[in-house]
Amino acid sequence: MIRPAELIERKRNGEELPADALAELVLAYARDEVPDYQMAAWCMAVYFRGLSAAETFALTDAMVRSGETLDLRSVLGRRVVDKHSTGGVGDKTSIAVGPIVAACGVPFGKMSGRGLGHTGGTLDKLEAIPGFRVELTTEEFVAQVREIGLAIVGQSGDLVPADKKLYALRDVTATVDIVPLIASSIMSKKLAGGADAIVLDVKVGDGAFMKTVEDARTLSEVMLELGRRAGKEVVCLLTDMGQPLGSAVGNALEIREAVETIRGEGPPDFTELVLDACARLLALSDLGVDLAEGRRRAEAVAADGSALAAYERWVRTQGGDPSLDALERAPVVAEVVAERDGVVVDLGALAVGVAALELGAGRRAKTDAVDHAVGVVCRAKRGTVVSVGDVLAEVHARSGDAAAAAVAAVGDAYAIGDEPPRPRDVLLDVVS
């Protein structure tokens, strides 16, 4: 029988905890046998003392074992791939990646989450599609991946319950930003979800949780090690979140942009990230192709319409209407215009994300409702040359007052100067 107080004390003193004791602490907490105040104290001890690689793996493994796990390979007889993002502004990547990968003949099965704060959630975006069902049973999820090669659903309540409980505790005790706990939270869900190969999109910059490339690389290396220990292939893409990804920020707006990208007509930065992620997933699959061939195949299915057909088949299978005309539109559209000639030298992702949140596109608390129609479309990005009166962005709002407030906030997110900024690719680094 573990004594939580003893484990808290040992971690507070900087000791490395035995794997079995750490695992039992986590599992006991998931069974409500350890109170929140003791687990909060342990998290704070970890905040100051950290976890070793062995401790981080023991924590991750215990969280996986706290609930059900999926073994998609044994059910489908195929290698299944998955993609995860650490969250950003305008990040609708999975919605475009899934159909492209599926159209290339590789099963794509993903359990996603909802947005909180300025970062949007994949499920919230998908629910902007009329009729789309994000809640499928495990059996329905597996059957759909088998039959059409693609499913994106909400996380099962029986999948990694320890992580759900521990994250809620960390959220209210100032112990979220600890690399071992972030890594174990992300990887426990990925490992329990049953994919063999995982591409992790680690966002870096103003609109991301990790503000520097160095911090993102540290997190990536921990997640890679967790994947290796669990026998999974993992690649981490460090990607720019210094400005919004693509143009659209807001649920229905992002669905439109994802569909445009699936048919080869998306914004350059978003298109590049989507195609790169697809190429890496295909190279990790059982197709036996390298990165260059994976990229070629991804581009081909976008160009010939088969990726769009895969998207429409997927949406219909989950009960939705794939027509873009079915997406709700906000009643008020207002423009943000340039007040001087020059070039956009900066576009703050966080400020745009918060503006979209204030419009109703996101939620401050988990119980908040989301307005799927509202948001921001950034027509000018970093490096765009503009003249006085040119449209920088569009605000999609429910009312004139809401639009006016958002126009001011988005206008403040833009910095216009005389000299163009140094070009920066959306893909900053790859850790594998």
What is 328-417's CATH topology?
Answer: Aldehyde Oxidoreductase; domain 3 (3.90.1170)
Distance of CA 77 to the CA centre of its chain: 27
CA distances in angstroms from 69 to 201, 222, 243, listed in the order given:
23, 22, 36
Round to whole Å and give the CA distance between 180 and 60. Answer: 9
Is residue 12 among the annotated active site residues? Answer: no
Low-confidence stretches of the chain (pLDDT beneath 50): none
Instruction: Return the closest-CA partner of residue 188 out of 164, 215, 216.
Output: 164
Amino acid at 10: R
Residue 81 has a pLDDT of 87
Contact (CB, 8 A) for 255 and 128:
yes
Residue 233 CB neighbour total at 10 angstroms: 18
Residue 75 has a pLDDT of 81
Cα three-residue angle 54-57-60, rounded to 5 degrees:
150
The tokens describing 241, both together, are 């979140």
Could you give the residue ranges of the DSSP H alpha helices within 31-88?
A: 36-49, 53-65, 72-76
State the catalytic residue, choosing from 61, 82, 91, 163: 163
Residue-wise burial string across 391-418, b where 16 or more C-beta atoms lie within 10 A, e elsewhere: ebbbbbbeeeebbebbbebbbebbebee
User: What does the radius of gyration of the chain's CA atoms come to, in whole angstroms?
Assistant: 22
List Cβ neighbours of 76 (8 Å cut-off, separation of 6 or more).
107, 142, 145, 146
Task: Cite the residue boundaries of each domain of the chain with CATH code 3.40.1030.10.
Answer: 72-324
CATH number corresponding to 72-324: 3.40.1030.10
H helix or E strand, kind and range, residue 239:
strand 233-240
Residue 115 has a pLDDT of 60
Task: Cite the residue boundaries of each domain of the chain with CATH code 1.20.970.10.
Answer: 4-50
Round to whole Å and give the CA distance between 70 and 143. Answer: 13
H helix or E strand, kind and range, residue 244:
none
Give φ, ψ of 231 to 5 degrees.
Answer: 75, 25
Is residue 170 among the annotated active site residues? Answer: yes
Contact (CB, 8 A) for 103 and 94:
no
Query: The pTM is what?
Result: 0.91
**Taking all residues of the chain, what is their mean pLDDT, rounded to a whole number?**
93
State the catalytic residue, choosing from 66, 185, 220, 285: 185
Strands 332-337 and 81-85: unpaired
Residue 412 has a pLDDT of 98
Contact (CB, 8 A) for 162 and 67:
yes
Is residue 118 among the annotated active site residues? Answer: no
Round to whole Å and give the CA distance between 328 and 130. Answer: 9
Residue 228 has a pLDDT of 93
Task: Cite the residue boundaries of each domain of the chain with CATH code 3.90.1170.30.
Answer: 328-417
Residue 247 CB neighbour total at 10 angstroms: 23
Residue 89 CB neighbour total at 10 angstroms: 32
What is 4-50's CATH topology?
Answer: 1.20.970
Residue 117 has a pLDDT of 58
Is residue 304 among the annotated active site residues? Answer: no
> Any bridge partners for residue 333, and if so which?
396
Is residue 372 among the annotated active site residues? Answer: no
List Cβ neighbours of 429 (8 Å cut-off, separation of 6 or more).
213, 216, 217, 237, 238
Residue 156 has a pLDDT of 72
Give φ, ψ of 119 to 5 degrees.
Answer: -95, 135
